[in-house]
């Protein structure tokens, strides 16, 4: 088991190095060093602290919404793994959700549907303020007489708003209909497993 864990950590480090290498080559090493040299270091530290608080708050809401007893540290690990998977897979930031549900189910012995319902409820709670602010922001944008948007910009903004609302409604539907959720989880896991 220990060897398996070391191999997994090594695999994650190799992926990180590959991503960093591609990123550096796209920007250019000298330009990247120049940009990093001009960074406001106290501001970066503040951003990192706020991001850590953000992750802790998301994990705490997941723990409060979860119907099982599990330590905060384990949930934090699962949340970070899910965030990593969401960031490296082309899944619109949601590829880590089935992974979080799988890890929670493996740790607690809960059914996949219950675990995914906990993940979905936490995601709904996070999406609600975002949607409210998006609707308010777009409303203010549309009624600003000094700003003239092109037709394609308006279509893109409306499409992104409708996509967000549609995903929110879909998450609520799956939370209410856990029987449909179970088949969706199995399909998602089968579909995303090769990418993960």
pLDDT exceeds 50 at position 172: yes
Smallest CA-to-CA distance from 164 within 192, 123, 115 is with 123
In this structure, the chain runs to a length of 196
How far is Cα 174 from Cα 178, in angstroms, rounded to an integer? Answer: 6
pLDDT value at residue 54: 85
Domain ranges in the chain are: 1-39, 49-192
Is pTM beyond 0.85 here? no
How far is Cα 166 from Cα 171, in angstroms, rounded to an integer? Answer: 9
Going by pLDDT thresholds of 50, 70 and 90, the confidence category of residue 49 is very high
């Amino acid at each position: 088991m220990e060897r398996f864990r070391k191999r997994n950590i090594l695999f994650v480090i190799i992926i990180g190095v590959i991503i960093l290498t591609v990123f550096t080559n796209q920007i250019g090493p000298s330009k990247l060093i120049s940009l990093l040299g001009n960074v406001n270091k106290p501001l970066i530290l503040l951003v990192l602290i706020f991001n850590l608080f953000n992750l802790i708050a998301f994990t705490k809401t997941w723990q409060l919404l979860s119907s099982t007893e599990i330590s905060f540290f384990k949930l934090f690990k699962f949340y970070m793994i899910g965030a990593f998977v969401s960031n490296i897979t082309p899944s619109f930031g949601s590829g880590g959700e089935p992974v979080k549900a799988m890890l929670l189910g493996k740790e607690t012995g809960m059914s996949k549907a219950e675990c995914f319902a906990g993940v979905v409820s936490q995601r709904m709670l996070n999406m609600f303020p975002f949607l409210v602010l998006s609707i308010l922001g777009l409303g203010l944008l549309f009624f600003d007489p000094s700003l003239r948007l092109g037709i394609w910009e308006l279509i893109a903004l409306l499409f992104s708003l409708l996509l967000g609302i549609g995903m929110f409604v879909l998450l609520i539907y799956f939370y209410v209909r856990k029987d449909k959720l179970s088949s969706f989880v199995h399909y998602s896991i089968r579909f995303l497993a090769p990418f993960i």
